[in-house]
Chains A and B, each alone.
Chain A
Amino acid sequence: MAEPQIRQIKIDPVTRLEGHGKIEIFLDERGNVEHAYFQVPELRGFEKFCEGRLAEEMPQITSRICGVCPTAHHLASVKALDSLYQVEPPPAARMIREAVYNAFLAEDHILHFYFLGGPDFMVGPSAPPAERNILGVIKKVGLSVGQRVIATRRRLRELIALAGGKAIHPVLGLPGGVAKPLKRDEQAQFLEVARETLDFAVFTLKTFEKVVLENSDYVDLIRSTAFTHRTYYMGMVDRSDQVNFCDGSIRVVSPDGSEFARFQPNEYLDYIAEHVEPWTYVKFCFLKTVGWKGFAENADSGVYFVGPLERLNASERMATPLAQEAREKLFALLGGKPVHHTLATHWARIVELLYAAERLQELSSDPQIVDPRVRTIPTETPHEGFGVVEAPRGTLVHHYQTNEKGVVTKANLIVATQNNAARIALSVQKAAEAYVHAGQISDGILNMVEMALRAYDPCLGCATHAMPGDMPLLIRVRDPLGRTLAVVSRDVDGRVVRDPGLPSGMTTARS
């Protein structure tokens, strides 16, 4: 009997998905990539159990979708409540929300950059694997940087708790405002942390420029076709087409960079649809007007991309000076807008970090932020509400329908990572196609597949902000009989262990 013709590469589990994830890559009889699957083996069903709950409880209930980015769900939900009750929050409430949100976004981007995605660049994709982690970053840029990362993260999270009670699952928002005004001494703390964060953001950009951009190998890697997909890009912009995380319209640009669509949160159903596959619990978003054409790129496929780079692609400029300067440099070096190179997302994340810090400083300096009027009491009968924010990982939509008492009858959620699910599968496939030939699996190939994923920070990285070590994957290469050909893993100190001879599932224990 002939042996089965398919070889299988399994990445199982992708341990930093919020929940669990795995990747299956099947090879054809010549040992080339036949198909890649990105699987999410988990579902909690929030859309269902939000039914029957009170609308005003949604910001706290839906924040439990993700304990790493609860503030994003919280704010998307609060904005859906503004829309549901047709209330406009007073200026100070809007400012407090935006300040807290920018603090959250800055904290999240810093940690991704230093701990998860950054090491590939800061230390280098071809550096000894044992150094390709946060410890390697610290070695490269100095121990005090590691301490600064921890301190900056803590200080930013203290701001969230100051305004919203808790950093994890805050209780900040109500329809029409926030639960309490900001006091003057709290404003001073916001401003102080904003300044520290901005200093740190400037330092981070300089470090990135020195370590990555002055190394042509890295720049070539960013530009390489293995990490490039021509897709649509989506992000929220303000009235001047500047990136905005909290308010505005959603803009979509085509693979050629031209504006493809622009819509308001309440029109999302005309533009975004979700496709179901039988082999994963996650749904795949696509542009409805283009249609689901499978896992494909280019303008005739509805696959699109959200997140830091995509927000830059979908906008015209940044609203703050240092971020704008950094943005111009990014597009100048990478050949203009839109940039299709997935790995440039790491750079875009620093541009956004600058913006978040500058914006936090602007808001914290504004005397109006301490105005005690932070609530508008609803008077309209609720019926339907839509809220959109830009989560660190991309566009996030909350949509509720309620009865006249404000009891939710329908809830629908489009979550950032879900927008990217199809493109992630595409990226895994393309990276594997570029590096896997004739069944030859090298260590480098496996790290390239990891890098393709890591750039998305696909809530794969979401949950892992302060431990030594990089995004840990177990990549397992199997032969047709299920025997393990190679295993790559990371140990507790973040060292990459590549052992072609390990039995299935084994990793190296800490010595």
Chain B
Amino acid sequence: MTDKPKIAFYWCAACGGCEEAVLDLEEKLLDLVSAADIVFWPVALDFKRADVEAMADVSILATFLSGAIRTTEQEDMVRLLRSKSQFLFAFGSCSHLGGIPGLANLWTRDSVFRTVYAESPSTENPDGTLPQTRFADNGRELTLPRFFDTVRTLDQVVPVDYYLPGCPPTPKVLLAALDQLFGGRLPEKGAVLAPDRALCEECPRRDTRPEHLALDEFKRPPYALIDEGTCLLGQGILCLGPATRAGCEAQCVKGNMPCTGCFGPTSRVRDFGGKALSAISSVAAGTEEATILRAFENIPDPIGLFYRYSLPSSLLRRKRLNGREGGV
């Protein structure tokens, strides 16, 4: 082992997009490899859990952890990595806020299983077989990790030091965090390492945003011809830029589509979806209930639009289907 600082990457309930964002450092990845020893990164390298277990506590400078926490195996791994790491970074929307897999909190684990293993139209399962955490097939014992009923953010499982937002975080956001880490310039613990201002402020269409917005209706993108040069909200497109933290440099807007909020809220906001909803409500025309309802007619899925990346971290956190559900 060299005396270079040690870095780890790990993923839980995630898509691998955050890992791809690391690879998108391209040539700069080589700089990272020369500045630090990557001591654990299952997606790319072959160190195993036992290697991590064998390390002294707090011997890893920083672990970047992507993905939400959904299974027993994931919880065990994040507890282990927490104990071995001086700094734990929630890396990307899923570990930061719960992410898209967190939308599963609208249902119970059992109903997810029922849909996937019984009701899906392509599934042929006459015996109602479900995956088992422990199963003996002719004496051959096989195990699977158990699913929790609720998807959790990383900081709902272990203390988190810093957050890198985004689905996925951009290479630029990651590089800035690495610079702060290696340069000993990390801010106060608990900080989200991206600019603490709304995305609108760095949006290339900022100057076209109307002073006062009073929208009679929100247009759904499939039905709107979207102008490439002007503020999307000004065009009546539901863009979450006003509620969303900056840092991505408005990638989706550059793709001529609205911001969907993956960088989460600024530091002054506790509940991203609530903030987004209030920001959007404030640009709807009228004060009459009927007018407002009409304006919101084209928003039939407020949860999926306002809480797409943040349901597990929200004040709602979990849809309670009955008295006993909603816990872990």
Residues of A within 8 A of B (CB): 4, 6, 8, 13, 15-16, 18-20, 24, 26, 34-35, 37, 39, 41-45, 47-49, 51-54, 56-57, 60-61, 63-68, 70, 81, 85, 150, 153-154, 157, 161, 163-172, 174-176, 179-180, 268-269, 272-281, 283, 285, 288, 292, 375, 377-378, 399, 405-407, 410, 412, 414, 462-467, 469, 472-474, 489-492, 504-507, 509-511
A175 to B49 Cα, complex, angstroms: 45
Q: Is the CB of A280 within 8 A of B51?
A: no
A4 to B140 Cα, complex, angstroms: 10
A258 to B276 Cα, complex, angstroms: 56
Q: Is the CB of B129 within 8 A of A41?
A: no
Q: Is the CB of A41 within 8 A of B73?
A: yes
Residues from chain B with a CB closer than 8 A to the CB of A24 are 140, 142
Residues from chain A with a CB closer than 8 A to the CB of B103 are 49, 53, 61
Q: Does B148 contact A (CB under 8 A)?
A: no
Q: Does B254 contact A (CB under 8 A)?
A: yes
Q: Is the CB of B305 within 8 A of A54?
A: yes
Interface centre among A13, A292, A405, A464 (most CB of B within 10 A): A464
Q: Is the CB of B132 within 8 A of A279?
A: yes
Residues from chain A with a CB closer than 8 A to the CB of B45 are 15, 467, 469, 472, 490-492
Q: Is the CB of A276 within 8 A of B46?
A: no
Whether A150 touches B27, Cβ cut-off 8 Å, given contacts A44-B101, A61-B100, A405-B300, is yes
Q: Is the CB of B255 within 8 A of A507?
A: no
Of B46, B106, B221, which is within 8 A of A490 by CB?
A: B46
Stretch at the interface among B109-117, B184-192, B279-287: B109-117
Q: Is the CB of A169 within 8 A of B168?
A: yes
Residues from chain A with a CB closer than 8 A to the CB of B301 are 52-54, 57, 407
Q: Which of B204-239 contact A (CB under 8 A)?
A: 220-223, 225-226, 228
Residues from chain B with a CB closer than 8 A to the CB of A399 are 121
Q: Is the CB of B104 within 8 A of A44?
A: yes
Whether A463 touches B16, Cβ cut-off 8 Å, given contacts A41-B145, A278-B131, is yes
Q: Which of B130-188 contact A (CB under 8 A)?
A: 130-132, 135, 137-140, 142, 144-145, 147, 167-168
CB distance from A241 to the nearest CB of B (A): 26
Residues from chain B with a CB closer than 8 A to the CB of A60 are 260
CB distance from B75 to the nearest CB of A (A): 14
Q: Does B1 contact A (CB under 8 A)?
A: yes
Residues from chain A with a CB closer than 8 A to the CB of B46 are 15, 469, 472-474, 489-491, 507
Interface centre among B19, B45, B137, B167 (most CB of A within 10 A): B45
Q: Is the CB of B121 within 8 A of A48?
A: no
Residues 34-50 of chain B: 1 if any A CB is under 8 Å from the residue's CB, otherwise 0? 00011101111111111
Q: Is the CB of A278 within 8 A of B15?
A: no
Residues of B within 8 A of A (CB): 1, 13-21, 23-24, 26-27, 29, 37-39, 41-51, 54, 70-71, 73, 99-101, 103-104, 106-107, 111-113, 115-117, 120-125, 129-132, 135, 137-140, 142, 144-145, 147, 167-168, 220-223, 225-226, 228, 251-257, 260, 300-301, 303-305, 308
A349 to B54 Cα, complex, angstroms: 40
Whether A274 touches B48, Cβ cut-off 8 Å, given contacts A54-B220, A165-B257, A510-B1, is no
Whether A68 touches B16, Cβ cut-off 8 Å, given contacts A41-B145, A281-B144, is yes
CB distance from B26 to the nearest CB of A (A): 5
In the complex formed, the residue of A with least CB distance to B137 is A279
CB distance from B128 to the nearest CB of A (A): 9
Q: Is the CB of B130 within 8 A of A169?
A: no
In the complex formed, the residue of B with least CB distance to A474 is B48
In the complex formed, the residue of A with least CB distance to B255 is A165
Residues from chain B with a CB closer than 8 A to the CB of A172 are 255
Whether A505 touches B48, Cβ cut-off 8 Å, given contacts A45-B116, A269-B122, A276-B129, is yes
In the complex formed, the residue of B with least CB distance to A471 is B46
Interface centre among A35, A39, A64, A281 (most CB of B within 10 A): A64
A410 to B115 Cα, complex, angstroms: 9
Q: Is the CB of A164 within 8 A of B255?
A: yes
25 interchain pairs, CB-CB under 8 A: A15-B46, A41-B71, A42-B13, A42-B71, A43-B147, A45-B115, A45-B116, A48-B112, A49-B112, A54-B220, A57-B305, A63-B15, A64-B100, A67-B20, A68-B16, A68-B19, A68-B20, A163-B255, A166-B251, A166-B252, A377-B223, A463-B44, A467-B29, A469-B45, A490-B45
In the complex formed, the residue of B with least CB distance to A115 is B44
Q: Is the CB of A378 within 8 A of B115?
A: no
Of A168, A175, A490, A509, which is within 8 A of B20 by CB?
A: A168
Q: Is the CB of B251 within 8 A of A48?
A: no
Q: Is the CB of B223 within 8 A of A70?
A: no
Interface centre among A171, A172, A399, A490 (most CB of B within 10 A): A171
Residues from chain B with a CB closer than 8 A to the CB of A171 are 251-252, 255-257
A4 to B139 Cα, complex, angstroms: 10
Q: Is the CB of B255 within 8 A of A283?
A: no
What 15 new A-B contacts, CB under 8 Å, besides A70-B17, A283-B117, A412-B121?
A: A13-B42, A43-B112, A49-B107, A67-B16, A67-B19, A157-B24, A166-B251, A171-B255, A172-B255, A278-B132, A467-B41, A474-B48, A505-B50, A509-B1, A511-B1
Of A163, A280, A469, which is within 8 A of B131 by CB?
A: A280
A34 to B138 Cα, complex, angstroms: 11
Residues from chain A with a CB closer than 8 A to the CB of B116 are 43, 45, 47-48, 283
Q: Is the CB of B49 within 8 A of A505?
A: yes
Residues from chain B with a CB closer than 8 A to the CB of A35 are 137-138, 140
A35 to B103 Cα, complex, angstroms: 37
A153 to B25 Cα, complex, angstroms: 12
Residues from chain A with a CB closer than 8 A to the CB of B139 are 4, 6
In the complex formed, the residue of A with least CB distance to B248 is A166
Of A45, A56, A375, which is within 8 A of B112 by CB?
A: A45
Q: Is the CB of B16 within 8 A of A179?
A: no
Residues from chain B with a CB closer than 8 A to the CB of A157 are 24
Residues from chain B with a CB closer than 8 A to the CB of A39 are 142, 144
CB distance from A288 to the nearest CB of B (A): 8
Of B16, B50, B104, B120, which is within 8 A of A504 by CB?
A: B50
